[in-house]
Chain A
Amino acid sequence: MKKLLVISAVVLGLAAGPLAVGPAFAETATLPQDTASPTATPSSAPVPTTSASITTATATAPPLEGTEATSASAEPTGEPSAPGAEPTPTEEPTPTEEPTPTEEPTPPAVVVQGPIGAKWTELKGASGVLGAATADQRCSSGVCSQAFEGGSIFWTTATGAHPVLRKAGHTGPRWHAKGGLAVLGYPITDETAVSGGTIQKFSNGIVLAWTGTQMLEFSTRSGIGSRWVAAGGEAVLGLPMTAEVCGLKAAGCVQQFTKGPIYWVRGVGGQVVWGGILGRWKAAGAQNSVLGYPVSAESCGLPSRGCVQRFQGGSIYWSPTTGAQATRAGIGSRYLAAGASRGMLGYPLTGEICGQPARGCMQHFQGGRIYWSPATGAWISGRGIVSKFIAAGGPGGSLGYPIGSEHCAAGSCAQSYQRGDITWSRSTGSRVYAMSECRNLNNGKSKYPTYGANRVLLTWTQGYGQNHATNLYCMKVAGTYVPDWRTDGYVGKSGFKPPGVPSGPTRNLFSPTGSFSVTEAFGLGNPGTKLPYRTLNPRSRWGGNPWTATYNKYHESSSWVGWDENMWWFASLGYYRQGVVINYNRPKIVQDAGFAIFLHMTKTPTAGCISLDDWAVVDYIRKSTPGDRIIMGTYGALFR
């Protein structure tokens, strides 16, 4: 009768599913016990066919505590009587052998089942490293465990079942030695082989790693550990190779992993540095250098399969063709502002090279250089211009440092330096220009606007009452006015009238002050110009009689009346052999405010015009386009 009861208990247990202490119930702690079943085990904890594992387990497990030993052979062998059947009266009862009074009771079998059972089976059950179970499965707060001769298996729905071995492997023995569950928490992974060793993670955030020579422990909740996890853990960074070492600059710490170190410092956090960037950073002095600690992870996906990593004091860029180079401070900021590796400069080819004249620095990039000095800041010199700059002596030469970045437009480029400019175009190559007043047109020091003119002739005297003038022909290259030529000449014999004051009749010999457009040229034969050109004839006149329809206009007449200019006469004498109309007091004309203000040949003091050497006038006409301007006046009237 007693044997039958035990058999019944086992059969009932199979029918009802795992025992109440098994993980299958633990994961559905809120479910009624009688509804739980092994198949309710979440998929996150893979479970072999439960019936099979349970069958195997129960077949080999020690007997449950408090129950008699049983086995497959313990199936009842006696044929049960048919219900209600009476024993055959003739049958003599067989004397039943009574148990020997001295026989010890067999200990009850311990059931190993559910996911823990599956893991145990995976580890070859009682014949494996865990050996036989020594206690029932126990669950508490969602964590189930079962003790075995060679260790324990822990299970949660989130992490699945994982063993900690008492003697086998490396991490399990350490777990046991360190205080086990109370100190490290339960395992959330098996001890897993990783290149160079093994690793096992625990619920308290502790990672135990065996490197082949030593056991290392670190927390995934520390600055370095959390970064290790975020970076991909052992799959990406590999095993730790050293323990965390602190006491670095600014109380920073470092831990070396197989693929690279993680550096941590308060206020910045932990960052991985590796590969070529690591090499460059270390070569520069790592955290003790001006670069300081990394403040970002390496960011790849840049052009040409490049990467960048930011540090406290700069950045390191890497590409397969250029390697890793640091950028920092003023040069680094300029590089960043120019689009960094995505911009015209591409990747840095060198680090910052200081010791330049005037305590400056420079850095080479694929697309040019950046020069920096305390006085000028950092500016880019592109490939087309920088070679000319170097040929001119670089920052130690006549030009000094760049004061602006190279800028390009319409196939040309220009760059301004402390003492000059360089331009470049595909057709004309590069050219150096000495410092000139043309720069005043670029930097706002001209009181008069250029209105975007392609070319501007600046004509000035040193003061009022003077007529010997300086003439500077400025041309715009890539938006920058640079000097084409400079020559002397003359203006009205009486000098300039102040800004806003009409020059008046030519007989007063004053020149007007201002910025005037140039829209037409004239003379005895077109020298080749984009301006509308008027060939003069004996009837060519320029109206000088106020309050007439022809005042300050070209017209033709066989007579020569009053203050009209006979352009033919002036042309025949050389003055107007070639000339340009300066649009003073036109096209909106104020009567008697002045007329016939031209740029013309024959370099002598004039009645209000600008006179230059013949070559200059011809060259001016050949290069002019409509909309060009002449800005004229005393130096003080023109420039700030």
Chain B
Amino acid sequence: MAGLAAAFGSGAMTNTIADIQAADVILITGSNTSENHPVISSIIKRAIKFKGAKLIVVDPRRIKMTDHADYWLRPNLGTDTAWINGLMHVIVKENLHDQTFIENRTEGFEDFKKSLEKYTPEFVEGITGIGAKKIVSAARLFGNAKVASIVYCMGITQHTSGTDNVKALANLSMLCGYLGVPGGGVNPLRGQNNVQGACDMGGLPNVYTAYQQVADPAVARKMEKAWKVKGLSTKVGLKVTEMIPKAHAGQLKGMYIVGENPLVSDADLNHVEESLKNLDFLVVQDIFLTETAKMADVVLPSLCFAEKDGTFSNTERRVQRIRKAVDGPEQAKEDWWIASQIGTRMGFPMEYGNSEAIFEEIRRVTPSYAGLTYGRIEQTGLHWPCPTEKHPGTPILHGQQFTRGKGLFHPLEWIPPAEQADNDYPLLLTTGRVLYQYHTGTMTMKSEGLNERAPESFVEISRADADKFGVKHDQMVTIASRRGEIQVKVKVSSMAVEGTVFIPFHFAKAAANRLTNAKLDPLSGIPEFKVCAVKIKDAA
């Protein structure tokens, strides 16, 4: 989200889910929408079928959405900034950009424009492998739209250049004036039910709720007053991807992990495992004894979403209720109750009657949530920012002006991924999810039906590569990177393109993240899950 925050001043979907249907061109990139956000994929497919919207898909795999697309652009892994710059080069050259919008609403255009000069379609073809003609056609389609929506996901962000990729998409949308209007915008799809809420609530090392900076002493004073506490730190804390190396180095002594399973979800798992072992004290709070929980000194059982009241904030910033439907395991507790108890026993009283009492405190310290109440969202959730109880919520951001005032163009250069294919590791690996499983599988793998559809890990490989490396469909093979190796079944598939293989990361037994590269984007701290070099070793 750092990329959008830099360009616009806030990092979230600019428009709503339903609003995508108002677009006449939709650009999907780095999102396997029909498997990871199926309901949104249907909205997009309806826009195509009934409203005549055109679809451009840019993805290294022949994902299902390409069946519905007017153009499928197939970039080499880790070349996103290059093709985005290529589209913009054509749009500027052919004068398809929105001069009025650029003058009134943005800054930094001239420097940015210069930075595009060298990204000719031919130059971009050399980097990305996308044909120059296709770049020109797609750029014309996008630039000539009345309004176009950009939809992206982790395929854009999980790169060492992830922040640049997002900024490039922000540039593209601003260039054409597709922001602040229905059917437009730059729309990151959130992969987990409450990622948006966890960010909004300050579950980040640099901000309190509503993205109030921890480094700002005025904010610290405000929070000290609200919480009746002294000495809040104004030092930005560690990101998860920084905590692990610090634990490895013995500088981080204790961890409190709630509802996360880094032992399957993080990059370079062998390193993560050693790091967590090195902790003096590890507490894990979860609904299952996950791989991570097995390592914990203390495990605390919590209630799941169906057993408690509260709110989630979805990918379109809509704050919605969750409600208790069943009683959970006898001794399991709400996560807020457990953390409050630890706090109270450490000498800082944290006592709340129920989730609504906590929400009322959230409203007092969170300007974008101040106007929300359980009563107002009883039937239909509202989009933040919602500053007062009279405010109707904000479905579309940046209507009159950007959160940061003017939208900022960033001149960007393409930077190659941290690892390239070579003689020792001749294939590139990219990772992701499949329709029938979810994240580390702790929930979906409890459903027999889902397991029947997606029972085990696999390596998706093109027919050409299968022949080249002498492997057959359904054969078990060992896939190795410089960091580790796993055994998986071969799936020869037309979704794969020669030179690139795909492995889903759900399966702990053959965890794709034993292979992935933990090299980080310098700004966002996101690891490069989407590109690393691998080889197929002899059949397992």
A and B physically associate: no
Chain A residues at the B interface, C-beta cutoff of 8 Å: none
Q: Which residues of B contact A (CB under 8 A)?
A: none
